[in-house]
A and B are shown apart, each in its own frame.
Chain A
C-alpha cells in the first residue's frame, strides 16, 4: 500500500514536472484516483441493456489511439445512463494506462498491447487470483501513407515496404517498387521515410508485421520505438501525417483513422493488393488472431499471425487495442458499472458509434460475443 501511494505521488510529481518545463496541455484527470464507492446500492438491479439506473464515475485512461472512440462511447453511454461520469485520460498513453491500472488508480486501462507476463503478475496483486483480462475492443489498421506528386495509387508488397523503411531503397523509381506497380510511371524522387519519434503501439504493430511477413529483409527488432536510423521521426500520428503531407516523396505509417485525406498504399496479401476498408480489417482479425499463450480464462488477448493474411478481402496490417480490467473489483457496484460500460463498447451499437466517430473497424461477431461472455464473470 505504501508503494502504491508513493507511485501515485510520483506520477503527480512527474506530471507537475513536465508542466513546469513548459509541457502544457497535459490536462490530467488521473488525480481523481479510485472513484469507487460512489455508486449507490440501488443500482444493482440493472438489466444488461438498460443502463438508465446506473450511476457513478468510471476512471480510466491509456491508449491515445482509442481516445476518439472513448470520447464517442462516453457520450453515447451517458445518453443512456445520465448519472454516470466517464473520465478517460488519453494523455497517459498505453504504458501510463497500464501503470496507473496496476497501481489501482483506474477501473480499466486502454492499451495497444495486452499485458506482458510481468504486468499480468502485477495486475494479479491488485485484482486477486482471477487477475486482469484483456478485451480487444477497438480495431483499426496501420496505413502506409505517401505523398508523391503525380502518383495517386500505389501498391506495395511487404518486402518492398520493409526495404523502403529499412532504408535499402532510396528512390521511388527503384525496381522493387516498379515491380509492384506495373504501368505506373514513378519519378526518381528520393524517398523520405517518416516514422514516430515517440514510443507507440502503431510502431509495435507495424514492425511486428514486417518482422513476420518479410523476415529476410526486415532484420531489425520488433519494438514500440522505431528501430531504424535515418528516418524523419515525428511526434505522434498527427506529426507523421502532417510531415508526409508537407513533404515530397515522403512515405510513413499511421493509424488509418488518423490519415485524413492522404493517400494510402494498397498492400499485397497473397496475390492481391488490398486497400484499407473497415470490413477488410474485421475480416483480417477474424482470420489471423489466435489466443495469446498466457491467456487465462476469460482473457481475450490475441496474437496476430500476419502470415495467415493472404486473402484478397482481408487487410494485411490490422491493429488491435484493448481495454484491460480486473475480473474481481473491490467494490461490486463499481464492477457492474465498468462491465456495463465495456459491454456497451463491445456491443453492436458501441462499435457503430466508434466506426462513425473514430473511423475504427467493427469487431467480428464471434469476438464481440466472447467479450460479453467474459464480462459476465466480472464482479
Chain B
C-alpha cells in the first residue's frame, strides 16, 4: 500500500510521463477515490435514515410502539441488547475459532510436509467460499442435533457456571450452536492470514533458534510467535469483523430474544445480533420501524469500523514487546543467548499483513 506512491512517483518524474502512465494513474486514483465515496455514501445513508428513529419518541409514536420495535422506551434501549448480542456471539465464536485456526496455520507453515500443506491451504480457502446460507442449513440440520447432547451435559454438570445455567435448549438452537457455526465461518480468515504471517518469519531466526539447541516447539515459541504476534492479532480482529456482520447463518440457527443475556445453552434467552435482527424483521417493518432497524445498522457499522481501526492500529504499532522467557521453560532458554536479542538484531521486517490483502479473503 505504502510502497506504491513513493517509488512510482520518483521514477515517473525522471522518465517523461507517457499518456498510458497518466491514464493508468488516473484510473487507479479514481478507483481509490470511489471506495471513499461509497463508504461515505453508506454512512450518510445510514445516518440520514437513522436520525428520525433515534430522535422519535418511542413511547408515543404509533409506528414504534407495536410490532417489530414494540416494548422499548427508546432507540438506545432497543439497540443496546442487540449490540451486546452481536459482540457476545462473535466473542464466543472467536474464543472457539482462534486456537484451532492458529493450530492449523502452524501445522501448515511449520509442521506438515509441503504437499500436504498446499492441499490443506486449498481446503481452508475453500471453506471461505462456502455461502453462509449453506452454513446456516448445515447448522440447522446437522449441528443443532449434533451439539444437543453436549449442551445438555454442560447444563447438567456445569450449570453452576452462570453461562451454562438456565433451562437447557430442547431443539439445539442456542447461541452456542450459532457460535460454533460462526467459528467455522471465521476459521478460514484467521487461518490463512496467520499462515502467511507465520511463513514470513525470517529463516535466519528460526535456524538460529534451532542451532542454539531449541526443539521445534521452542523454535516456534521463541521465533515464530513473537514475530507473528501483531499479524495474528489483526487476523483475529478481521475474523471478528466477519463474525459481527454475519447474518444468515445466525438468523437461521439461533432462537433469538432481544435481551442482554450471558446464557449460552437456553432456547429463549439468546441475545439477538444486530445483523440477523435486521434480516428477520426488515421485510415486515414499516415506516419508522425500518428507520429504527437502519439505526441499528448504523451502530453495527460503527462497531465494525472500530474493530477494523483497532486491527489497523495493532498492525501499524511497533510490534514485539520483548518478552523475557518465563520461569517454566527456564534452563535451556537462559543458557542460550536471549533469543529476543537475536530477533532484534535483524530488523528487516516486512509488515506481515501488507503482503496480502486480507479483505479479499473475507467474503
| Residues on A facing B (Cβ under 8 Å) | 10, 13-14, 17-18, 21-25, 64, 91-96, 98-99, 116, 118-119, 190, 192, 194, 197-201, 221-225, 227, 229-235, 239, 242-243, 246-250
Contacts and interface: CB of A to CB of B under 8 A. Distances in A.
Nearest to B65: A221
A235 B286 contact: no
Interface string B39-65: 001100100010000000000001100
A116 B131 CA distance: 38
Nearest to B45: A13
A18 B132 CA distance: 12
B67 A199 contact: yes
A197 B278 CA distance: 11
Contacts of B173: 232, 234, 243
Given A199-B283, A247-B170, A192 B45 contact: no
B159 interface: no
Interface in B117-145: 131-133, 140, 144-145
A235 B67 contact: no
B131 A99 contact: no
B218 to A, nearest CB: 41
Interface residues of B, number: 50
Given A23-B279, A199-B68, A227-B70, A99 B286 contact: yes
Nearest to B169: A232
The winner among A118, A119, A190, A201 for most chain B CB atoms within 10 A is A118
B107 interface: no
B251 to A, nearest CB: 5
A24 B133 contact: yes
A198 B284 contact: yes
B42 A233 contact: no
Contacts of A242: 140
Given A95-B285, A224-B68, A22 B49 contact: no
Nearest to B244: A21
Contacts of B171: 192, 194, 232, 243, 246-247, 250
B251 A197 contact: yes
24 contacts: A10-B45, A18-B279, A21-B275, A22-B131, A22-B132, A22-B245, A24-B131, A24-B133, A25-B133, A91-B283, A96-B282, A116-B286, A118-B287, A190-B170, A200-B284, A221-B71, A224-B67, A225-B68, A229-B257, A229-B269, A230-B268, A243-B173, A247-B170, A249-B170
Given A14-B294, A17-B42, A232-B170, 16 more contacts: A18-B247, A18-B278, A22-B131, A23-B279, A64-B283, A92-B283, A93-B283, A95-B284, A95-B285, A190-B170, A192-B171, A201-B284, A224-B284, A225-B67, A232-B268, A250-B170
A22 B246 contact: yes
B252 interface: yes
A113 to B, nearest CB: 9
Nearest to A201: B284
B255 interface: yes
Contacts of A233: 255-257, 268
A229 B257 CA distance: 7
B314 interface: no
Contacts of B133: 24-25
B29 to A, nearest CB: 24
Contacts of A22: 131-132, 245-248, 363
Nearest to B287: A118
A64 B144 CA distance: 26
B195 interface: no
B296 to A, nearest CB: 12
B268 A229 contact: yes
B259 interface: yes
A118 B140 contact: no
Contacts of A25: 133
Interface in B145-163: 145
B66 interface: yes
Given A95-B290, A98-B286, A23 B248 contact: yes
B280 interface: yes
Nearest to B267: A232
A190 B170 CA distance: 9
B257 A223 contact: no
Contacts of A235: 251-252, 280
B145 A246 contact: yes
Given A22-B363, A192-B171, A119 B132 contact: no
B45 A24 contact: no
Contacts of A10: 45, 49
Which has the most chain B C-beta neighbours within 10 Å: A22, A119, A234? A22
A18 B66 CA distance: 24
B140 A24 contact: no
Among B245, B247, B268, the most chain A Cβ lie within 10 Å of the Cβ of B268
B297 interface: yes
A95 B278 CA distance: 13
A235 B63 CA distance: 23
A223 B267 contact: no
B281 interface: yes
A23 B140 contact: no
Contact of B70 (A99, A201, A225, A232): A225
A195 B298 CA distance: 28
A17 to B, nearest CB: 7
A237 to B, nearest CB: 13
Nearest to B185: A22
Given A99-B286, A221-B66, A243-B173, A199 B280 contact: yes
Contact of B170 (A224, A225, A234, A248): A248
Given A22-B246, A23-B248, A197-B255, A118 B62 contact: yes
Contacts of A227: 70-71
B245 A21 contact: yes
Nearest to B251: A235
B247 A225 contact: no
Contacts of B132: 22-24
